[in-house]
Homo-oligomer: A and B are copies of this chain.
């Protein structure tokens, strides 16, 4: 029994711990370096996809602000809270990975079809680190070509938040993200 009970305790801990060990208002995907830069998120292509606006260069005078297809994801930790509460919790991360337009004509019709990756952007809601930002949201760019930068510094408030003020929910453009609207119901 002496040997079995500690083993039992360990196994029980492995099974049970994940249910209540989530850090208080903390997202395990959100990491900072010693200078307060945000580390490039890992594994985001396996996160929850929320929507894909496209702003093609050819519809924006050759210079789209975000060229061109936007793959937008939310981290799964924050998504599970959003499903339950309908709010974006502290630590929420929204990734926007950009692709070029590969072609405008395919067998399924005329339109816009992705080519190659060309940018990684991130929005983070975190009152602990970004208390002075509207809604505590800060915005980051990790470059325009994979492999992206390992860390990024927050953009000045005005450069991003000016646009996000017209977003439907808490600076997030849920009006373009049916996946989030459906998750909230």
In A103-134, the 8 Å CB interface with B consists of 103, 106-117
Tell me what chain A mostly uses at the interface: helix, strand, loop, or mixed.
mixed
Residues of B within 8 A of A177 (CB): 114
Encode A137-153 as 1/0 by CB contact (under 8 A) with B: 00000000010000000
Task: Given A15-B15, A45-B179, A48-B46, answer yes or no on A112-B4 (Cβ-Cβ < 8 Å).
Answer: no
Would A113 and B15 count as touching, CB distance under 8 A? no
Task: Given A4-B1, A11-B8, A179-B45, answer yes or no on A109-B60 (Cβ-Cβ < 8 Å).
Answer: yes
Contact of A55 among B4, B111, B146, B175 (CB under 8 A): B111
Q: Is A36 an interface residue (CB 8 A)?
A: no
Would B1 and A66 count as touching, CB distance under 8 A? no
Q: Which residues of A contact B (CB under 8 A)?
A: 1, 4-5, 7-8, 11-12, 14-15, 45-46, 48-49, 51-56, 59-60, 64-66, 69-71, 73, 76, 99, 102-103, 106-117, 146, 163, 166, 173, 175-179, 182-183
Contact of A5 among B4, B12, B64 (CB under 8 A): B4
Task: Given A7-B8, A60-B111, A99-B178, answer yes or no on A71-B55 (Cβ-Cβ < 8 Å).
Answer: no
Would A112 and B110 count as touching, CB distance under 8 A? no
Residues of B within 8 A of A110 (CB): 55, 59-60
Residues of B within 8 A of A109 (CB): 55, 59-60, 64-66
Would B163 and A108 count as touching, CB distance under 8 A? yes
Task: Given A110-B60, A117-B182, answer yes or no on A52-B52 (Cβ-Cβ < 8 Å).
Answer: yes
